[in-house]
């Protein structure tokens, strides 16, 4: 197997919030090396600081300790493909308007940005819905728009923060297949955050289990399971039980 190059090096990262009434130490001693084009899953219980970590990676927040090195240089703000928990679409803009927004910020011509947006609308299977408004779409379709918008940023690095958390179980399963299909067609480095063990095993090349107080890296797992993975495969269940036994309870 080809050796993957390092693309993001997170070293001794820490984040403490200094509030009026308390000091909240959320992240401590986080060390993770992200490889180029891998599908990396950050798995951790609710409120453990996954979003805080992703926001720091996205440049939306700053760490209070440690450092992050982007081996190929930090992508400019707005150039990282970020998909949020809730759809975060502009409700008054059409599917096309939402997907082309990053290109618009870059000052590309209308024809250029619509051509690029169209490519990603098709990639996520939303052709025919270019002129629909978000409220006319189902939850799964809205999240596809979010994914198309992130891909249209043409960033090498995609940050997905529990993107399927708000979806019903059936839609979630099909979106898990969808995100793998898109990733296989258009390889990028994906950092996918979830609190769902099965989702982590179904998707990840590598799973970083977060936990502890403050949150650190507890363990790393590399599922040795061919794709498409099967939730009921005994090897899948064995790994699931192993991870669950090591996961902190949410208090
Ligand atoms: N700006 C802030 N000021 C103070 N505390 C914050 C701030 N942002 C996050 N926190 C705290 O950091 C902790 C981790 O929050 P975060 O949203 O990252 O958790 P999470 O793992 O993403 O949770 P979930 O899975 O429920 O979305 C929480 O206790 C939260 O209250």
Element holding 108 (H helix, E strand): none
- Given this model, what pLDDT does residue 49 score? 94
Q: Give the separation between CA 169 and CA 175, rounded to whole angstroms.
A: 10
For 9, the 3-state DSSP assignment is strand
In short, whether 48's Cβ falls inside 6 Å of ligand 1 is yes
Mean pLDDT (whole number) for 172-176: 88
Place of tokens 């495969």: 233
Residues 6+ apart with CB under 8 A from 19: none
Instruction: Determine the atom of ligand 1 nearest the C-alpha atom of 48.
Output: 21
- Given this model, what pLDDT does residue 222 score? 97
Angle between helices 139-152 and 110-123 (to 10 degrees): 130
For the chain, give the percent of residues with pLDDT over 70: 95
Place of tokens 């296989």: 184
Q: Give the separation between CA 177 and CA 112, rounded to whole angstroms.
A: 30
Q: Which position has the higher pLDDT, 83 or 93?
A: 93
For the chain, give the percent of residues with pLDDT over 90: 65
- Given this model, what pLDDT does residue 79 score? 67
Q: Which of 92-101, 157-166, 198-207 has the lowest mean pLDDT?
A: 157-166
| Ligand 1 mean position, distance from CA 56 (Å) | 12
The radius of gyration computed from the CA coordinates of the chain, to the nearest angstrom, equals 18
Q: Looking at the predicted structure, is the pLDDT value of residue 170 above 60?
A: yes
| Ligand 1 mean position, distance from CA 20 (Å) | 16
Other Cβ atoms less than 10 A from the Cβ of 120: the count is 23
Q: Looking at the predicted structure, is the pLDDT value of residue 1 above 80?
A: no
pLDDT tens digits for 181-234? 989 988 999 999 999 999 999 999 999 999 999 999 999 999 999 999 999 999
pLDDT tens digits for 44-90? 998 999 999 999 998 889 999 999 999 988 776 666 788 877 768 99
pLDDT tens digits for 11-56? 999 999 999 999 999 999 999 999 999 999 999 998 999 999 999 9
- Given this model, what pLDDT does residue 4 score? 82
Q: Which position has the higher pLDDT, 249 or 121?
A: 121
pLDDT tens digits for 236-247? 999 999 999 998
Global ipTM: 0.97
In short, whether 49's Cβ falls inside 6 Å of ligand 1 is yes
Question: Which of the listed CATH numbers 3.40.50.300, 3.90.660.10, 3.40.1030.10, 3.30.565.10 matches domain 6-80+155-245?
Answer: 3.40.50.300
- Given this model, what pLDDT does residue 45 score? 92
- Given this model, what pLDDT does residue 75 score? 74
Report the nearest-CA residue for atom 19 of ligand 1: 47
In short, whether 43's Cβ falls inside 6 Å of ligand 1 is no
């Amino acid at each position: 197997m080809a050796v993957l190059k390092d693309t993001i090096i997170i070293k001794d990262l820490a984040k403490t919030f200094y509030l009026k009434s308390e000091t909240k130490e959320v992240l401590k001693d986080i060390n993770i090396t992200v490889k180029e084009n891998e599908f990396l899953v950050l798995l951790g219980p609710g409120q453990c600081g996954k979003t805080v970590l992703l926001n720091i990676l996205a440049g939306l927040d700053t760490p209070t300790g440690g450092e992050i090195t982007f081996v190929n240089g930090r992508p400019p703000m707005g150039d990282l493909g970020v998909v949020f928990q809730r759809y975060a679409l502009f409700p008054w803009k059409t599917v096309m308007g939402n997907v082309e927004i990053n290109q618009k910020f870059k000052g590309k011509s209308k024809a250029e940005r619509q051509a690029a947006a169209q490519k990603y609308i098709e990639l996520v299977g939303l052709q025919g819905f270019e002129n629909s408004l978000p409220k006319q779409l189902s939850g799964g379709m809205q999240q596809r728009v979010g994914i198309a918008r992130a891909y249209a940023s043409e960033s090498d690095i995609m940050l997905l923060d529990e993107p399927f958390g708000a979806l019903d179980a059936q839609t979630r399963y099909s979106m898990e297949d969808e995100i793998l299909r898109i990733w296989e067609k258009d390889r990028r480095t994906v950092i996918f955050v979830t609190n769902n063990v099965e989702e982590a095993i179904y998707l990840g090349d590598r799973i970083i289990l977060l936990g502890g107080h403050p949150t650190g890296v507890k363990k790393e797992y590399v599922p040795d399971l061919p794709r498409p993975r099967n939730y009921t495969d005994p090897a899948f269940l064995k790994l699931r039980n192993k991870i669950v036994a090591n996961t902190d309870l949410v208090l």
